[in-house]
Structure 1
Amino acid sequence: MTPRPILTRVPARARLLARARLLAKVPARARAAVRGSEIGLVALAGLAGCVAGAAVAAMQGATQVLRAWLYGLPPGMRLSASHDVPALTLLLVPAAGGLVLGLLAHTITRAIARRHGRRPHAVVDPIEANALHGGRMSVRGSGLVALQNMISNGSGASVGLEAGYTQICASLAARFGASFELRRSDQRTLVGCGAAAAIAAAFGAPLTGAFYAFELIIGTYAIATLTPVVVAALCGSVVARALVDQPALVTVDGLDALTSTAITGADTVPVLGLGLVCAGLGIVIMRGVTLVEAGIRASRIPAPLAPALGGLCVGALAVAVSPQVLSGGHGALHLHLGAHGAGMGLGGLALLFAAKATASALSIGAGFRGGLFFASLFLGALVGEIFSGAMPGLAAFAPTPLAYAVIGMSALAVAVIGGPLTMTFLALELTGSFPITGLVLVAVIASSLAVRKTFGYSFATWRFHLRGESIRSAHDVGWIRTLTVDTLMRREVATVPVSLPLTAFLTDHPLGSPSRVVAVDGEGRYAGIVRVPEAHAAARDADGPPPGLADLLRHADDVLTPGMNAKAAAAAFDRTESEALAVVDGPETRRVVGLLTESHTLKRYAEELDRQRRAMLGETA
């Protein structure tokens, strides 16, 4: 089984004491300045960006040193671009890294179980933090995730460091926000600032980092969040560049290497096809990770040994196919996006794609920590190269094979990670070519739309779905998850026993009284809703003995629960064609706890939509 992440929660009293100590270190005047001023929030975002840039540089340097030590790499050599590493080293080092990772997780899990008597809680990532926890994250748990990510990537597992970057940087930004007692919306914005700075620092691409935060962490673009997020991304990028040399991913001289002629509207036709191909392959990759995880669980391999087995399989792929399947793939992507490419034939590219996709699925499925951000970029570049070589007639269009590699890189990354504008700006900042960026936008829109309509999830939200969460984006949060039936329903609900004679019911509920009455059975369980006018009409029109209440019940099987959100409740009203539904405590006990009307639900839903619209425009009233 996959090693479980590490504890992020502490007892309530300890949390209160820690919070008191934290606030004591921040002067009240400073807290008030940040809470009450947009400039104060921007300054805090800039600080978070600088810290994030330093953290990313430190992780990059430490991981490169680890790879060089384990594999005997010369200075500056990337693992996935190396050619002379001994086969035995390629085979065994990933397995050894997996064993260390598995034993580390097992040791910490046992220590927590002895101390607290329970298994550790899962570490909250930035998307989940903003969607469910108001931007609250654990620095200690996030630091451990970053360490596990460094061990995984440094030992050669086919995962990127971007997950560790965003985890630790977002948690540090969240800690800054907690220190200043920021409001919920500002706290969520600051978590987005940390993630934006992390991605901007990793790629030297501030716009990419900013839109990563808008699309994937905060969940929406708003005028009020523009300045702090962009400032954080700029600060992160500048600090990381000052500390670490970052060579460009795309090494081309001018635009001649990307286009053979001027780009026209006809050039979008093959680009659309490439986007759809990338969408299908992205879904296959995400499903593949799930299948590997299911296979690991079914094999009943001890949890500490699962990463070692996965590492052994990844090492075998590196020996059999190419070292390009190892680690994140930065060096390999440099080879393929260089001015002369990697010089591989179609068969070699297809084999490398299959091996890299398999290695990534094995790494994550077996329990290595990391994500598919950079792996999806590399895989997309391979798809673009294969597409340009395999599709007949592409020579008649303007894009060159290198351009198709850039387009495929963005399109497949969108399919797996999400964020169409994020990947579009990444292509722009890497190439500096506006014509190619236009074609990238076409491909990512096609890829994003196809995945959304056929699969419905990105890699992160797919894993939330497998855990039982309904998060599909960071925008699921916010307000729609907190506007629940429990907060909307009327709690004072009079009930009547379903065995009550109709004449007694009519006496107690004359015309003009509330038009709906909830009926319960002999055990107090919900039985249905009786409409008072219908009950009077039934008694008046009856030729013989009046019917019983049981004959007049409506919506006996249609109920709401307190945990449902307003969107789900509105859908229930549409499905049942009812203007009011009873709220029960659960599907088993069916104890009536309230009543909710469609009109009140839609009114509150509209009010929240309007509030969100004003927030996006930066309006305070």
Structure 2
Amino acid sequence: MIRTRLFVPVLAGLRRRLRTSEAALIALALLLGSCAGLMTMLQANVAHVMQRILYGIGADDRLSAQTMIDPIRLIALPLGGIALGGFVWLARSRRRAPIDVVEANALHGGVIPMRDSLTVSAQTILSNGAGASVGLEAAYAQMAGGLASVVGQWLRLRRNDLRILVGACAGAGVGAAFGAPLTGAFYAFEIVIGAYTPAAIAPVATASLAAVVTVRALGLPAYLVVLPAAEPIVSSDYFLYAALGLICALVGIVIMQAVTVMEGMVRRSFIPDLARPFAGALLLIPFALLTPQVLSAGHGALHLDLTMKVSLGFLATIFLLKIAASVVSLGFGFRGGLFFASLFLGSITGQIFAGLISMIPGASPVNANDAALIGMAALAVAVVGGPMTMSMLVLEATHDFALTSTAITASLCASTLVRETFGFSFSTWRLHTRGETIRSARDVGWVKNLTAGRMMRRDTPTIEESASFAEFRRRFPLGSVRVVIATDEAGAYAGIIRVSAAFAGDHKEDAPVGEIVHLKETTLSPDQDVSAIMRLFEAKETDELAVVGEDRNLLGLVTEKYVRRRYTEEIEKAQRDLFGD
């Protein structure tokens, strides 16, 4: 009892401090960033131990770098599919998909149920550990962001501070995986928070640095992308690599569309939900027999193909097989992302690009290692998003600023083409296929929350449409109210009557007032958001709209003036949050 009495004031003081002090939020980001680094390495090691047990590889070996795998060992794929199907069975009562960090920050103010984070992490680790062609980066970001969300909710952080903390820790998880703090920081800004905000710079940078320093201090291995030294960059290279960026954009769009098509085909097939991962695993076995490079995320394969001199035919074969394996894995229900797969495929695209250029008579040769680095960044931008995120990965892998500037050029070209022709990254595209309209993690949750049901007035006067003009004028004299809602005999909505219109014109005293009702069929539902409401106001050129239920019973009235005022207030609040005011 005494401990409780002491703890409650301390907790209350901590909450007040976090809501009023930027330094306190930075300190919290430091602590949670360190936790994010530990969780990232824990997940990576669990998945790697699974692969060691299932495939018999060494402690320092990578599954995708194996020259061959015993066919008997490939039974791990269908076993993983069966286990993942078990997850589907256990979660069969859930009415919605788990909320990931991008969706949480865009629509839910950074709120992520811990159950969702644990589900995503467990399914991703199981998928990767069994050898499916998916990466672990989604699990890293999800668990780190999920921890930040739970702690932030417990401390009752403001909406914007919670979003920043979730983004900072998600980026810290990714940064820890690559030993690259700048990559993690820009991942937080571009992918999870959705904007570069002054208020977020210090917490994001602190969390990412803390995660990487923690991993290094403990001597834990990270997925360092150690690449060959790059050649000097000349002016003409910018044009060549800009073209490579555009090619990578097209490849990225094809991959994202292919995953969607595959998912649609599988959903329409006779295969039950529980058996889909198992069926996908059976399809992956022939790919794995051709080359183990299609298994797992592709860390080992990326390094192998960059350090060995391989033919264009071999690279093209790996390119097609890896795309097919990734599409099958995701389409049939294995959990994970395309973060590292896009890096791997981008490096292959760059090497093929350099090889084809060298075959053109009179063309200046392109260094294959440089092209691999540029392609790696550009294709990852096309699929994942974040031009600066991937460019910083190149910088931290090579320490070459000239090459990084070229990577930025190619990444911006890829990003622009994808946004103009496709409009989504892989994470936002999957949300779009579920019916959401978001295009980034920028906070639009307040738009969803600002609904007709929340903004309507409930004390709207009503009258039956069969009432006479005399009765109407007696009950609602000029100046008393602006509009009155007409109802039918059953009490359902029948339209809107302007009081001024009832007193204007030569209306017979005993005529029904229903003669002048308007907007009979134009109504709002209580769950329509502010964007839809304003569009309807503009389309109907009216000042008021009624909010009705499913049986057309009147719930309230919304005015355009009030809606626009509330919208403006929320915009101004969002701007203040953006700049930390």
With normalisation by structure 2, the TM-score equals 0.89
Q: Structure 1 residue 49: deviation in Å? A: 0.7
Query: Cα deviations across residues 272-306 of structure 1 (Å, max 9, x unaligned)?
Result: 43333333332322222223223333333243332
Query: Cα deviations across residues 389-424 of structure 1 (Å, max 9, x unaligned)?
Result: 346769856863333322322222222222233223
Aligned pair partner of 1:566 in 513, 518, 530: 530
Query: Structure 1 residues 24, 324: CA separation in 2 closer, same or farther (over 3 Å shift)?
Result: farther
2:277 partner letter: P
Question: 2: distance between equivalents of 1:297 and 1:160?
Answer: 23
2:378 partner letter: A
Aligned pair partner of 1:370 in 327, 336, 341: 336
TM alignment of 1:235-246, pairs within 5 A = 235-242=210-217, 243-246=219-222
In the alignment, which residue of structure 1 is the partner of 2:184? Answer: 209
TM alignment of 1:543-582, pairs within 5 A = 549-550=513-514, 552-582=516-546
Aligned pair partner of 1:288 in 258, 262, 270: 258
In the alignment, which residue of structure 2 is the partner of 1:97? Answer: 80
| Greater mean deviation of Cα atoms: 158-167 or 173-182 | 173-182
In the alignment, which residue of structure 1 is the partner of 2:455? Answer: 488
Q: Structure 1 residue 85: deviation in Å? A: 1.9
In the alignment, which residue of structure 2 is the partner of 1:590? Answer: 552
Matched, 1:72 2:56: yes
Alpha carbons 2:50, 2:129 under 8 Å: kept: yes
TM alignment of 1:250-265, pairs within 5 A = 250-253=226-229, 255-256=230-231, 259=232, 261-263=233-235
Query: Cα deviations across residues 242-293 of structure 1 (Å, max 9, x unaligned)?
Result: 332336424222x41xx4x5225xx444444333333333232222222322
Matched, 1:156 2:139: no
In the alignment, which residue of structure 1 is the partner of 2:29? Answer: 45
Aligned pair partner of 2:295 in 304, 319, 326: 326
Q: Structure 1 residue 231: deviation in Å? A: 0.3
Q: Structure 1 residue 349: deviation in Å? A: 2.8
2:216 partner letter: R
Query: Cα deviations across residues 572-603 of structure 1 (Å, max 9, x unaligned)?
Result: 22222223222223xx4222222222222222
Matched, 1:473 2:437: no
| Greater mean deviation of Cα atoms: 207-216 or 274-283 | 274-283
Question: 2: distance between equivalents of 1:520 and 1:419?
Answer: 54
In the alignment, which residue of structure 2 is the partner of 1:9? Answer: none
Q: Secondary structure at the match of 1:371?
A: coil
1:130 partner letter: N
Alpha carbons 2:276, 2:332 under 8 Å: kept: yes
Matched, 1:124 2:96: no
Alpha carbons 1:48, 1:193 under 8 Å: kept: no
TM alignment of 1:83-94, pairs within 5 A = 83-89=67-73, 91-94=74-77
Question: 1: distance between equivalents of 2:252 and 2:159?
Answer: 34
Alpha carbons 2:179, 2:223 under 8 Å: kept: no
2:227 partner letter: T
Query: Structure 1 residues 581, 280: CA separation in 2 closer, same or farther (over 3 Å shift)?
Result: farther
Question: 2: distance between equivalents of 1:410 and 1:524?
Answer: 62
In the alignment, which residue of structure 1 is the partner of 2:112? Answer: 137
Alpha carbons 1:263, 1:398 under 8 Å: kept: no
Q: Structure 1 residue 48: deviation in Å? A: 0.6
Q: Secondary structure at the match of 2:235?
A: coil
In the alignment, which residue of structure 2 is the partner of 1:518? Answer: 485
Alpha carbons 1:142, 1:168 under 8 Å: kept: yes
TM alignment of 1:147-546, pairs within 5 A = 147-242=122-217, 243-246=219-222, 248-253=224-229, 255-256=230-231, 259=232, 261-263=233-235, 267-320=237-290, 322-336=291-305, 338=306, 340=307, 342-345=309-312, 347-390=313-356, 400-506=367-473, 508-537=475-504, 539-540=505-506
Query: Structure 1 residues 472, 526: CA separation in 2 closer, same or farther (over 3 Å shift)?
Result: farther
Q: Structure 1 residue 605: deviation in Å? A: 1.7
2:555 partner letter: V
With normalisation by structure 1, the TM-score equals 0.84
Indicate the percent of aligned positions where both proteins have the same amino acid: 43
CA RMSD of aligned residues (A): 3.0
Question: 2: distance between equivalents of 1:582 and 1:60?
Answer: 54
1:193 partner letter: A
Matched, 1:616 2:575: no
Query: Cα deviations across residues 422-469 of structure 1 (Å, max 9, x unaligned)?
Result: 223223322333333333333333333333343333222222233333
Question: 1: distance between equivalents of 2:41 and 2:329?
Answer: 24
1:577 partner letter: E
Question: 2: distance between equivalents of 1:397 and 1:438?
Answer: 20
Alpha carbons 2:178, 2:223 under 8 Å: kept: no
- Matched pairs, number: 575
Alpha carbons 1:81, 1:332 under 8 Å: kept: yes
2:342 partner letter: S
Q: Structure 1 residue 213: deviation in Å? A: 1.6
Q: Structure 1 residue 334: deviation in Å? A: 1.6
Query: Structure 1 residues 470, 523: CA separation in 2 closer, same or farther (over 3 Å shift)?
Result: farther
Unaligned runs of 5+ in 1: 1-19, 111-117
Query: Cα deviations across residues 168-199 of structure 1 (Å, max 9, x unaligned)?
Result: 11122223223433233322222122201101
Query: Structure 1 residues 505, 455: CA separation in 2 closer, same or farther (over 3 Å shift)?
Result: farther
Query: Structure 1 residues 382, 574: CA separation in 2 closer, same or farther (over 3 Å shift)?
Result: farther
| Greater mean deviation of Cα atoms: 322-331 or 545-554 | 545-554
Query: Structure 1 residues 490, 73: CA separation in 2 closer, same or farther (over 3 Å shift)?
Result: same
Question: 2: distance between equivalents of 1:209 and 1:272?
Answer: 25
2:299 partner letter: H
Question: 1: distance between equivalents of 2:113 and 2:268?
Answer: 32
2:527 partner letter: G
Query: Structure 1 residues 86, 483: CA separation in 2 closer, same or farther (over 3 Å shift)?
Result: same
